[in-house]
Amino acid sequence: MREILGRRLQRLRSSLQSLQPLRTLQSLRFAQRAGAGPGAVPVHPRPLDAALVCATAWAWPVLPGVGRAGADGARCACPDPDCVVPGAHPFDPGLLAATTDPRMVGWWWTNRPTAPLLLATGGAAPCAVSLPAAAAARALVRLDQRGMRIGPVVATPTRWSLLVAPYSLERLGELLYAKDHVPSSLRFHGEGGYLLLPPSAASCGGQVRWEREPPAEGGPPWLPEVEAVVDALVEASSGAPGGGSRLAY
């Protein structure tokens, strides 16, 4: 039995060493832009490379998403036939398994190389506020005009998510209670939540990308406090087409 386990561990080490993951964000960006010429097909980094940057360079707990099933990849691989976020949520492993351990990250994506990349939000990890893409674009313009420093922004074809410093549910509740209204199109990803990160495929179709990229050097990306950005997000979402109804407090 000891010999069998030893051989398995050796195979895992050899597999991880042969992957030669890209350890820096500069390398990831080079891979993304390698096919940026006219008529070229964009090249995206492997989820494993991006997951290792998140886990080891930034200490963000990550885990693989469930992925898609079927020849056309049109349905979620989870047991729910009516899944509303196909391929873009935790299942096995569950959200509580999120980790910064590079060995576990390597094992997951070695076995499931195309699995989506999920960030477990809250705790010591970043939180996020998401809103419809058109409203988010307006909000970023307003924040830039005010000279506000913005952290990384994750974009799908339909929604953008602004990463913010960790906040508690109590703190968020007090902040929202002080508002006259909060558009129902705003979503808050805090403790016990998750966020799909590049280079995953979005549940609505298309690719997840960085609208505002993390810095290429240094440690974890700087993140604004949620109070600093929420007013602009509420304002932009209130008049957004399809922005949802207002939740009065």
Q: What is the pLDDT of residues 124-147, one digit of tens each?
A: 999 999 999 999 999 999 999 999
Give the pLDDT of residue 239.
62
Please give the average per-residue pLDDT across 49-72, as a whole number.
Answer: 91
Averaging pLDDT over each range in 63-77, 188-202, 227-241, which range is the top one? 188-202
**Integer Cα distance of 194 and 171 in angstroms:** 19
Which residues lie below 8 Å from residue 37, measured CB to CB, with a gap of 6+?
none
As a dihedral over the C-alpha atoms of residue 236, residue 241, residue 244, residue 249, rounded to 10 degrees, the angle is 40
- β partners of residue 58: none
Amino acid at 52: L
Q: CB 42: neighbour CB atoms within 10 A?
A: 13
In the chain, what are the helix, strand and coil shares in percent, each to the nearest 5? 35, 20, 45
More confident residue, 204 or 227: 227
**Integer Cα distance of 137 and 223 in angstroms:** 18
C-alpha neighbours within 13 Å on the C-beta side of residue 103: 4
Per the CB < 8 A criterion, the answer to whether 184 and 247 are in contact is yes
Q: Where are the alpha helices (DSSP H) in 65-192?
A: 102-111, 133-145, 169-177
Crossing angle of helices 226-238 and 169-177, rounded to 10°: 50
Please give the average per-residue pLDDT across 160-171, as a whole number.
Answer: 94
Please give the average per-residue pLDDT across 81-96, as a whole number.
Answer: 91
- pTM for the whole thing? 0.80
CA angle 226, 228, 232 (to 5 degrees): 100
Give the pLDDT of residue 215.
85
Q: Please state which of the ranges 22-26, 44-48, 152-156 shows the lowest mean pLDDT.
A: 22-26
Q: Is the pLDDT of residue 167 over 80?
A: yes
Q: Please state which of the ranges 9-18, 34-43, 80-89, 201-210 shows the lowest mean pLDDT.
A: 34-43
Per the CB < 8 A criterion, the answer to whether 62 and 82 are in contact is no
